[in-house]
Amino acid sequence: MHFKSLVGILILCFLTFGCTESYCPMIEVDVIPEVDSVLGYNDEFIIENKTTISFSETFKVSANFLQSFILNGSGIQLKSIEKNGSILFIQNDSIPSEGYKLETFKDKIKIIASSDQGAFYGVQTLRQLMPASLENGSFDKDKIRIEAVSIKDEPKFPYRGMHLDVGRHMYSVDFIRKYIDAMAMLKMNIFHWHLTEDQGWRIEIKKYPKLQEIAAYRDETLVRHYSDQPHQFDGKKYGGYYSQEEIKDIVTYAEERFVTIIPEIEMPGHSQAAIAAYPELGCKGEQVEVAKKWGVFEEIYCTKDETFNFLEDLLDEVLELFPGKYIHIGGDEAPKTRWKSCSDCQARIKSEGLKDEHELQNYFIMRIENYLNSKGRQIIGWDEILEGGLAPNATVMSWRGTSGAVEAAKSGHNVVMTPTSHCYFDYYQSDNEDEPLAIGGYLPLEKVYNFNPIPEELSKEESKYVLGAQGNVWTEYMPTEDKVEYMTFPRMLAMSEVLWSKPEHKDYVDFVSKVENFHKRLDALDINYANHLYEIEGEMISEDRKSFYQLKTLTEGKDIRYTLDGSEPNLNSEAYTSKIPITKSTTITAAVFNNKERLGKVFSQSINYHKGVGAKITIDKVPHKAYSGSGAEGLINGISGSDSRYGDKEWLGFSGEDIEITIDLGEVQAINFIETRFHNGNGQWIYAPRKFSIEVDSTLINYDSDNEDKLIANQIKGVGQYSRFVKIKIPNYGTIPEGKQGAGNKAWTFIDEIIIN
């Protein structure tokens, strides 16, 4: 039985039969991530000035955190006594190392764990049982009341991570601490700190001072979106770096919150900034600039010995700063153009008996891995490190879908899941056109929440190699700390529950309710979260060739009110109670209301009611599961996709496949024109087809396109045919050219609404 259903049944029993004087078997608590099990007691514990605390040296970090949190939040000082305090930390070695038991009674709080880390997570749960006003010291009472509960909890995955790119944009030390604090509150334990990039080097390396003097600064920065042509720049020098002392301070700060920092030092690609400082590290030995726009660059580390000497020297300094097991070495998006024409690299291929430049990359990765292994460390790399053969002890971070993870796990290698489809928090999180600028894509809260880090292709035994997952925050379009928070929250909340909570205990409706409540805590913490909970989702559906539009919102207990004339809805507008019949082109506007006012933004959807709406459609290939939109029917539902977000529910994405679409209109009809469009976001590996064809009543119309716009609209006019069927054949663009992002991979095809009139 579903955990939440069981809770509901038990609560119903309590309402019917009542609790005993001191015990109610089950309650719900607003804790994120969802706990494993919780029992309720008909009582409460009160923290006040006379409250005492007892703990051994084993629990020093977690107990000190609790004391500081209560003191800073309320002014109440928990007095430490040697034993038998009213708040007790108790060691129990039978509990998993990251697990805990939390028991709050009328006269006692017990935090039971086998380790300080487990107790720390118990403290974070206890923290969320207290008023949010404690977070910023605005609590104005002399007593803190905590409901009496018994909670047993432990994580599903050992690797529960968040990533932050500081190469494209850099953030203050205080902000890095704030980011780590939020992770710790949500029981996340890995901070993947992306420190080097083409656009900036952010870590002090004392042996190579030009990394601070030159590589850390770019002359100017791209403004607006990379896809906007021509490129424009702000004309302002930008950069900076973290000193080794600052990094040591941050590492210590993280350790005190049981967060391990994994530094990423990119190689062999994404290294143009370093080559700008030391041109001899590149294949040409020529001066280059620190990159000032986004993308993939051909300047990568040469494979001569001098380069490896440099990398080993700087890694020695990195190892002194970061004591954790793992060092991330990147390994992604490394164009081989320079290597192909480099005498040193070609000599290396020959002397090492390598087949090609892909095997040369494997040689590069393995050489770095061997060096780090000799220092007692392990490497993590993006899934490109699989190319040319996988280094023997490497852990693979799978971002290009899940195929890399499957390949690595089946070979006995550890895997961290971070596919773009569910883990890239630089993607748009709402369909609203006024969302702040993002790289592209579409990743709403619900999609993050429903992510399963275990690929379905893996057996139970193979799935043990999946250590966990992480949310990635790439910052090309996040110049400020507020923007990072807006893009990260509340999606980090969803990711925390993906990684900590057991699937059978998760429920998205309940999670949304918890997030709504959690907003008060985020407000108190001064975290700039995105609030899309009061937004409306709409969907076109067809039944027996009749079309309807249905509306829904995430939060319960609210009304949806709508209009069909494009005017803005108000409290007097019609209340939505059932799906709306659609028989002509129209614009639906709607909003969420309580009994007093509108909540959130107005939803608006224009519907172009054409001859294809409600028809039968088939596609000979299945859209990629990460970009399946509204299914095949979404291509003829009268709704066009976003102009900027190829990942929304109206765009269908196909990975490297030719596709054939057949539309059955049900009867012979006059067809005057057919219109569709393709996305051409080359920076995201998406290419419009070079050509496609439409067949109407055995008449074949070929269409060639060399258009390089982001959105390629194609209107085939003057068809002038009568037909029941429309067939569209769309060949894939093919292999992405050298020098482009994703070079060597098959391009994606994204197609939007097919309009038939």
Which DSSP string corresponds to 284-316? Answer: S----PPP-S-S--S--B--SHHHHHHHHHHHH
Strands 79-80 and 37-47: unpaired
Q: How confident is the model at residue 711 (pLDDT cuts 50, 70, 90)?
A: confident
Distance (Å, rounded) from C-alpha 652 to C-alpha 624?
A: 8
Enumerate the H helices of 129-277 as residue ranges: 173-185, 210, 244-255, 272-277
Q: What per-residue confidence (pLDDT) applies to 17?
A: 36
Nearest to 330 by CA among 192, 453, 468, 205: 192
Nearest to 419 by CA among 655, 688, 177, 743: 655
| Per-residue tokens: 747 | 């391009």
Which residue's entry shows tokens 């796990």? 409
- Region 175-190 average pLDDT: 98
Element of type H or E holding 471: strand 466-471
Distance (Å, rounded) from C-alpha 708 to C-alpha 609?
A: 29
Tally the C-alpha atoms within 13 A of residue 443's C-alpha that lie toward its C-beta.
30
In contact, 749 and 732? CB cutoff 8 Å:
yes
Looking at the predicted structure, is the pLDDT value of residue 6 above 50?
Answer: no
Q: Can you give the C-alpha Rg of the chain in angstroms?
A: 28
Distance (Å, rounded) from C-alpha 579 to C-alpha 427?
A: 30
In contact, 753 and 719? CB cutoff 8 Å:
no
Which residue's entry shows tokens 């409706």? 509
Would you give the end-to-end CA distance of the chain in angstroms? 50
Looking at the predicted structure, is the pLDDT value of residue 716 above 80?
Answer: no
pLDDT in tens, 55-65: 999 999 999 99
Distance (Å, rounded) from C-alpha 585 to C-alpha 578?
A: 19
Supply angle C-alpha 477, 288, 195, rounded to 5.
45
Strands 674-679 and 755-756: antiparallel
For 661, phi then psi, to 5°, come to -115, 135
**Of the given ranges (183-192, 263-272, 530-539, 638-647), which has the lowest mean pLDDT?**
638-647
Element of type H or E holding 618: strand 616-619
Dihedral (Cα; 695, 696, 699, 701), 10-degree rounding: -50
CB neighbours of residue 229 within 10 Å: 11
In contact, 367 and 308? CB cutoff 8 Å:
yes
Q: What per-residue confidence (pLDDT) applies to 153?
A: 97
Which runs of E-coded beta strand occur in 98-213? 100-104, 109-113, 144-153, 159-165, 190-194, 196-197, 200-201
Give me the count of residues in the chain.
757
Residue type, 276: A
Q: What per-residue confidence (pLDDT) applies to 285?
A: 95
Supply angle C-alpha 365, 367, 370, rounded to 5.
110
- Region 302-314 average pLDDT: 98
CATH annotation of 616-756:
2.60.120.1190
- Region 17-30 average pLDDT: 57
Nearest to 391 by CA among 399, 402, 383: 383
Supply angle C-alpha 507, 456, 651, rounded to 5.
75
Q: Read out DSSP for 193-229?
A: EE-EETTEE-B--TT-THIIIIITEES--EES-TTSS
Which residue's entry shows tokens 């030092």? 265
The SS3 call for residue 31 is coil
**Of the given ranges (559-573, 621-635, 710-724), which has the lowest mean pLDDT?**
710-724
Q: How confident is the model at residue 743 (pLDDT cuts 50, 70, 90)?
A: confident
Residue 238 bridge partners (DSSP): 218
Q: Which fold has domain 3-153?
A: Chitobiase; domain 2 (3.30.379)
Dihedral (Cα; 47, 52, 56, 60), 10-degree rounding: 50
| Per-residue tokens: 85 | 């305090």
**Of the given ranges (233-247, 384-398, 473-487), which has the lowest mean pLDDT?**
384-398
- Region 232-256 average pLDDT: 98
Nearest to 255 by CA among 322, 302, 158: 322
Dihedral (Cα; 127, 131, 134, 140), 10-degree rounding: -150
Which residue's entry shows tokens 């280059």? 288
Residue 714 bridge partners (DSSP): 676
CB neighbours of residue 337 within 10 Å: 16
The SS3 call for residue 712 is strand
Supply angle C-alpha 486, 489, 494, rounded to 5.
155
- Name residues whose C-beta falls within 8 Å of residue 697's C-beta, 6 or more positions apart in sequence: 721, 722, 723, 725
> What are the b/e assignments for 528-553, b being 16+ CB within 10 Å?
bbbbbbbbbebbbebeeeebebebeb
Looking at the predicted structure, is the pLDDT value of residue 380 above 70?
Answer: yes
- Does 68 or 26 have the greater pLDDT score? 68
CATH annotation of 159-524:
3.20.20.80
Residue 201 bridge partners (DSSP): 196
Q: How confident is the model at residue 715 (pLDDT cuts 50, 70, 90)?
A: confident
Distance (Å, rounded) from C-alpha 276 to C-alpha 126?
A: 50
Q: Read out DSSP for 536-568?
A: EEEEEEEETTEEEEEEEESSSS-EEEEESBSPP
Q: How confident is the model at residue 651 (pLDDT cuts 50, 70, 90)?
A: very high
Distance (Å, rounded) from C-alpha 361 to C-alpha 389?
A: 9
The SS3 call for residue 338 is helix
CA distances from 257 to 127, 264, 382, 583 (A): 14, 21, 27, 58
Looking at the predicted structure, is the pLDDT value of residue 414 above 70?
Answer: yes
CB neighbours of residue 128 within 10 Å: 18
- Region 149-162 average pLDDT: 97
pLDDT in tens, 553-598: 988 888 999 999 989 999 999 999 999 999 999 999 999 998 889 9
Nearest to 476 by CA among 209, 200, 719: 200
Q: What per-residue confidence (pLDDT) applies to 388?
A: 67
Enumerate the H helices of 562-665 as residue ranges: none
Distance (Å, rounded) from C-alpha 120 to C-alpha 60?
A: 10
- Helix, strand, coil share of the chain (percent; to 5): 30, 30, 45
**CA–centroid distance for 584 within its chain:** 39
CA distances from 95 to 90, 103, 118, 152 (A): 11, 14, 9, 10
Domain ranges of the chain: 3-153, 159-524, 536-607, 616-756
Distance (Å, rounded) from C-alpha 193 to C-alpha 342?
A: 32
Looking at the predicted structure, is the pLDDT value of residue 124 above 60?
Answer: yes
Looking at the predicted structure, is the pLDDT value of residue 381 above 80?
Answer: yes
- % of the chain exceeding 70 in pLDDT: 95
Distance (Å, rounded) from C-alpha 696 to C-alpha 328?
A: 54
